[in-house]
Copies of this chain bind each other. A is one copy, B any other.
Amino acid sequence: MASACLIIIGNEILSGRTKDDNLQYLAQRLGEWGVPMTEARVVPDIEAAIVQAVNECRRVHDYVFTTGGIGPTHDDITAAAVAKAFGVRLVRDPEAVRRLQAQYAAGDLNEARLKMADVPEGAELIDNPVSRAPGFRIENVFVLAGIPSIMRAMVDSLRHMVVGGAPIQSRAVRFQLAEGVIAKDLGALAARYPQLTVGSYPFYRQGQFGVVIVLRGTEGPALERANEELNAMVRALGGTPVQETAA
């Protein structure tokens, strides 16, 4: 099964000023496309850090996505860093220039904005239906905007560039037993279904512990059987299983 990695580029995430709002969207889409995200990184707006992360991740993963740093300001250095990572020149893409020309009045398309048409040589543009300035793909690296509304539109418009697999399905069951009570039987269930991942997610609210168990995999029948066993297990341990709709 193919794997994907997200590199979030942005000092604002690492300083705690802003909460990332892109990982979840991309992860969910990739799950539907059958390309699980198996790693994510957050790196600062420093060229060497971006180059290193891109080069480490593109060698390990089938698909690498980056978010952030493709605007017109001095701290938007993603395109230049990705070009450096691939050892290619940064070039002004004529089609990207045309898109910016269609977006901005002639007097407003200054050099800073034209910088948004610079891509690594050989890159393919990724459409931006929101504000036109495109993202791009070079080999297995997809460079996307950081603004969530634009990032999401770009993800939706690059679907055809990703060769997916069987969609990852899931089931989730919630109940008010402590993890320590179910751990042994749950471990045995997980061992019986090596083709699934069985995750145990405790929560703690108002002094009460509860758990959500999430089953995940591409094999529908195994998922259904494991889900039935899980419900029976929770009832046998004295809990009341609630099937969650969004898993």
Contact = CB atoms under 8 A, between A and B. Distances in A.
Interface of A: 11-20, 23-28, 30-31, 36-45, 49, 71-76, 104, 108, 110-113, 115, 130-131, 147, 149-150, 168, 170, 172, 179-180, 182-184, 186-187, 190-191, 197-204, 209, 214, 216, 247
Given A17-B247, A40-B42, 9 more contacts: A13-B23, A15-B27, A16-B30, A20-B20, A71-B200, A71-B202, A73-B183, A76-B200, A115-B183
6 contacts: A12-B201, A15-B27, A39-B49, A45-B197, A73-B182, A110-B184
A148 B42 CA distance: 19
A115 B11 CA distance: 37
Contacts of A23: 13, 16, 19-20, 42
A24 B16 CA distance: 4
A11 B204 CA distance: 19
Interface of A is mostly: mixed
Contact of A108 (B14, B179, B180, B199): B180
A200 B112 CA distance: 13
A216 B27 contact: no
The complex is assembled from copies of this chain, and their number is 2
A201 to B, nearest CB: 6
Contact of A168 (B15, B113, B131): B15
A240 to B, nearest CB: 19
Nearest to A17: B214
B14 A39 contact: yes
Given A14-B40, A130-B204, A201-B12, A113 B74 contact: no
A82 to B, nearest CB: 18
Nearest to A73: B200
Contacts of A73: 179, 182-183, 186-187, 200
Contacts of A110: 180, 183-184
A183 B44 CA distance: 19
A40 B41 contact: yes
Contacts of A130: 204
A41 B41 contact: yes
Contacts of A216: 11, 15
